Structure 1
């Protein structure tokens, strides 16, 4: 049954027939679209799953699992309306600045081969300046939220749920949510200050 279209009631053998009943003819008509055959509940669920994802390439189970996978803590807060799009963008920038700073500490390897430059000096300098501004804004932001940095970084960078982070650090849920929104709004102030200073 699996891998084939869902079976339908055979209507070829039940086409309208004319029967003679005494001297009068009777025409028997069937419904225009036949109903699918009833299946066992487990098979019905499997067939419904396959039908729901038949337009996609790949297995139905993979698509179903990907749809049910839980999104990150900040995405859930955004979907619930606790964060707006500017605060979500601030969280992404804070996370990126954190990863840049942490990556600077990591051990790196270098290639000593001669490099050919494609003339991207201006773009490279802009990227470096933006990176420096983001790092300095992160330092300023981190100094401002110093006392609550651990729970906020758990939520923003390490994708820990708001409830779990609040419980770990002894905060109430309303206070943790308020601290998060204030800290995300503060990011734009710190970043603007660093851009003006440059």
Structure 2
């Protein structure tokens, strides 16, 4: 592994999405992570990537992803069969308040904003043209109020998101003011409908990897 000398301890993670049992592709990734941790006398963490799943627009389609209640045990059974040991277990569904804290801090620092654009309008009117959407320059007080309204359930799915100010002139269109939080009214098998605002994958992992001290990531 590169740059191992920069860390006091190597920390790696297994991050399955609990939609079913492990398969042969997962096994390759799991074994590689486990062997590297053994080589460097590090820690291996099991981190269930159990965010809410597919947005409303994809549900009931072949591309939809759902968290299955039985998948948690199936995954741990698979790891046991592979003789994989790990030091800790985390669940993203237990960490929503952490993501909320970081999102609010970004809003307070004028690095994120509440956006009411539809996905089509944002893409066609602003992202493709490298122009700011009207919501980007909202006041801090307005953004904080609407963020609070999101958490209180005032809005429904696909009506509002929080975007990070990554820049609307970024050379990669996918990076232009990315969504970091969205609303989902789907029921989660572990936390039910307690939370309706959920983080996007990249945002949650940036926070989690920093907080738990992950040093190296192997995927695929």
Q: TM-score range by the shorter chain?
A: under 0.3
Higher RCO (CA-CA < 8 Å; seq separation 6+)? 2
Alignment TM-score, normalising by the size of structure 2: 0.22
Alignment TM-score, normalising by the size of structure 1: 0.24
